[in-house]
Amino acid sequence: MKGSIVAPHLTTPAATGDLRALPAEILEQTCKRVGIASFAFAGIWAWVLLMNTVVWRLVEPDGGALLGQMSGRANLVAVVGIGLSLAMVFVAGALHHRPSLLIDIGLGFEVTNALLIAVFNWLIIPPEWYPSAGVSFICVVILFYPTIAPAGPYRTLAAAFLAASLDPLVFQISVAQGNVYDLRTYDLLWTFGPNYVCALLAVVPATVIRGLGKRVSRERELGAYRIGERIGHGGMGDVYRATHRLLARPAAIKLIRPEVLGSEGPDRARVVIERFRREARAAANLRSPHTIELYDFGTADDGTFYYVMELLDGLNLDRLVTRFGPLGADRTVNLLKQICLSLGEAHERGLVHRDIKPSNLVACKMGLAVDFMKVLDFGLVKASSDTRRDGPELTSPDVTTGTPTFMAPEIAVGGRPVDSRADIYVLGCVAFWMLTGRNVFEGPTSIAILTQHVRDAPPAPSTLSETGIPPELDRIVLECLAKDPDDRPESAIELFRRLDACPVQPWTAERARQWWELHIPESEVAELEATDRSIIGSEPTIALLREE
């Protein structure tokens, strides 16, 4: 499984015609446009059906048997075109995560529409209706489709020439059936020639769009890192997969663009910028192996703030419990102890995380170790003892920072100093989630949840768990969830000692390895990556909740 979560490089030589040369966002939009184009084709064929079933009866009420017979065959072609287009809409939705395959199928869709038009031109319209040369609607299909789905130039050219050749091919079939056309060789050249001219021109939009994609890729470089696909989104910014251009080391890069900062006024922009810088400084100064590692930090030419962190191979606790159910007491204790080591260092430096939650805690593979915990997203970190070191309070008026489901009462209420024991409370909420698969408090609104954190007594995890939870672990979790900070364990290191003495069966490295091999074997890695994007890095989520 090592390295399996790292996607292939998104930049490959253009000569290969590989669509991976296009950024993921462009391919994603291309998939959507294929569906829209298919709807458009369905509408065009519906228009043909309308013309042949309604309009011709109004315009040519005495059209005769020939027109009626032709209309019946034309309706059949139109119905086939509508069905094919609607089927392509479904395919576009089903294959949105496989753009290369979808675009290849789309080329077949282009050729098939050209075939239907050719059948309409030469097997349905009577020969006597061709007194002179005319341009086929196939030209429209050949020129229009590459602007929607930019395949490689060679495939675009091949599909376009195949579509262009269908007019003369079906014409020969029509002649072989005995139809006689009053068209000279010169007329046929003017009839079929534009198809091939358009086939040559079809390469132009495909090449332009691919060139645009490569230019976007070149521009998506920050420092020594090349930005890939987006893998996370949250209040503090977006997270993208990145690769060091020289070392080829995979990483996750988090950035905030300047236009986003000014969307809510200068005060909000100042808060976000300072939080972003504080997160980078905090992560850079922490050395615990259980804290996300920071590689780089800086500002791009356009004012974009960014920092680069390690790309993790694992599952955050939110996804882990949601997918596999509550963890046993033994595994919960093992993971909590590792989290305590990360928080213990931060607390000794006078820093409070203030946004501990399952989505910020990742159980991952690190070399040969599995179930190795990493604590992410120090975006709300705050000095507990000396706020002067970082300037004024980094909050906006009437704003509560954190996540309601995982928030200490003193943060929710405000008005009193917040220290490391706020993280202890939230760690109790995380332990409750790991043991039961449920949140300590739930409610219809953020205010309702915060009110319960302040007022209501939490239930013991053992009352909601189907697995055995030792009474000692029950007591530890409930002490962490005490309303009064003085009643909680005084530090993360003290909590570590309490957990280490808890009478549970040891969760050994061998047991952890067996769990990973059973539940996430090598054969499931590709499927896991496609369905659970949280395995590949930090999910920057900072909730700013205005009072409701």
What does the block give as tokens for 67? 């027109």
Sign of the alpha-carbon torsion through 415, 416, 422, 428: negative
Rounded CA separation 544/254 (Å): 19
Listed residue (19, 38, 140) closest to 87, CA to CA: 38
Rounded CA separation 539/80 (Å): 46
Q: Which residues of 1-40 are buried (b: 16+ CB within 10 A; e: fewer)?
A: beebbbbeebbeeeeebebbbbbbebbbebbebbbebbee
Neighbours of 265 (CB within 10 A): 11
Rounded CA separation 117/195 (Å): 12
The catalytic position among 313, 318, 355, 377 is: 355
Pairing of strands 361-366, 369-375: antiparallel
Phi and psi (nearest 5°) for 420?
A: -65, -20
Rounded CA separation 155/92 (Å): 19
User: Per DSSP, what are the bridge partners of residue 296?
Assistant: 308
Rounded CA separation 458/435 (Å): 14
Tokens 């419990």 belong to which residue?
A: 321
Rounded CA separation 60/548 (Å): 66
Contact predicate 111/142, CB 8 Å: no
Rounded CA separation 546/548 (Å): 6
Distances, alpha carbon 250 to alpha carbons 14, 245, 283, in Å:
23, 10, 18
In degrees, to the nearest 5, what angle opens at C-alpha 29 toward C-alphas 23 and 34?
125
Rounded CA separation 78/48 (Å): 6
Is-catalytic flag, 355? yes
Contact predicate 434/335, CB 8 Å: yes
Please give the single-letter amino acid code of residue 193: G
SS3 361: strand
DSSP 8-state symbol, 159:
H
Residues that are catalytic: 355
